[in-house]
């Protein structure tokens, strides 16, 4: 394979712009997914049938339909209902909603893994429910969650080429555009692959480090 380094360098800023959009969508989407996933995981345990039922319906919908379909619904169906969002926000919401369903399941597993004795010890010391979650249960649930969250973050990152279908100018879209305009494919796609690697590998290392550092 022949790579023209001068050409690669000249298209670097275009791809970098795409990468920044990608990272922005992924990071915001991840924050949304982690927070919403947590809310879903806790609400799922609610004794109120309505609340836990609504959670189950949510999880089942978002886990059993393709992300692409969800993005289309958000992007094309919502505006016809009078809700218009910029493409990037739609991407953040789309990724966030989809991954929150998976992350909620992971939280559930981690929370279920906390021994019953921890809840009882908290009760025995007269902790209220919020303090029990905040100080006792979640800090312990987070440790086994870290590698899972790391995997989902990288997974989200790798799903971003899908966002091209809803016109978000992310990395894949940028590389495709360069290729389409110059009829040169090696450089933009190789550079794109390297950029994906440059982000995912350090991210996975970061989560490994965080996991080691957390004391349980």
Partner 1 sequence: MSEALHSTAPEPAQIQLTQVVKDFGKTRVIDHLDLSIPQGQKVALIGPSGSGKSTVLRLIKGLESYQQGRIEVDGALVTAKSPSWRWPGSKKPPVVHRVGMVFQQFNLFPHLTVLENITEAPMRVLHVSREEALERAHTYLALVGLSHKASAYPGNLSGGQQQRVAIARALAMRPKVMLFDEVTSALDPELVGEVLAVIRSIAHEQQVTMLLVTHEMKFAQDIADRVLFMEGGRIVADGSPRQILVEPDNERTRRFLNLVEQR
**Residues near partner 1, by CB under 8 A:** 115, 117-118, 120-121, 123-131, 135-136, 139-140, 143, 214-216
Residue 24 vs 132, nearer CB to partner 1: 132
In whole angstroms, how close is the CB of 128 to partner 1 at the nearest point?
4
CA 17 to chain CA centroid, nearest Å = 20
Residue 143 vs 176, nearer CB to partner 1: 143
Count the residues in the chain: 216
Residue 93 vs 146, nearer CB to partner 1: 146
In whole angstroms, how close is the CB of 39 to partner 1 at the nearest point?
13
Query: Which two three-digit tokens encode residue 176?
Result: 């495709």
In whole angstroms, how close is the CB of 148 to partner 1 at the nearest point?
18
Residue 72 vs 127, nearer CB to partner 1: 127
CB 211 within 8 A of CB 147: yes
Side-chain half-sphere CA neighbours of 161 within 13 A: 9
Give the closest residue to 101 by CA, choosing from 72, 76, 67: 67
In whole angstroms, how close is the CB of 215 to partner 1 at the nearest point?
6
CB 149 within 8 A of CB 58: no
* Buried b / exposed e along 71-85 (16+ C-beta atoms within 10 A): beebbeeeeeeeeee
Side-chain half-sphere CA neighbours of 87 within 13 A: 12
Residue 69 vs 124, nearer CB to partner 1: 124
In whole angstroms, how close is the CB of 96 to partner 1 at the nearest point?
24
Give the closest residue to 170 by CA, choosing from 16, 8, 31: 16
């Amino acid at each position: 394979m022949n790579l023209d380094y001068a050409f690669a360098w000249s298209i670097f800023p275009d791809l970098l712009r795409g990468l920044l959009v990608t990272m922005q969508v992924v990071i915001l989407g991840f924050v949304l997914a982690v927070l919403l996933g947590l809310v879903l995981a806790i609400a799922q345990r609610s004794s109120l049938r309505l609340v836990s039922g609504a959670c189950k319906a949510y999880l089942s919908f978002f886990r059993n339909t393709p992300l692409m379909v969800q993005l289309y619904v958000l992007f094309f169906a919502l505006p016809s209902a009078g809700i218009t969002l910029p493409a990037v926000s739609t991407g953040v919401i789309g990724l966030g909603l989809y991954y929150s369903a998976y992350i909620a399941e992971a939280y559930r597993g981690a929370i279920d893994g906390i021994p019953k004795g921890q809840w009882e010890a908290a009760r025995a010391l007269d902790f209220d429910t919020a303090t029990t979650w905040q100080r006792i249960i979640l800090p312990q649930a987070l440790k086994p969650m870290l590698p899972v969250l790391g995997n989902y973050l990288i997974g989200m990152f790798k799903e971003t080429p899908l966002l091209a279908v809803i016109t978000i100018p992310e990395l894949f879209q940028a590389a495709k555009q360069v290729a389409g305009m110059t009829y040169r494919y090696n450089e933009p796609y190789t550079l794109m692959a390297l950029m994906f690697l440059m982000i995912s590998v350090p991210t996975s290392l970061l989560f490994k480090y965080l996991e080691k550092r957390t004391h349980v």
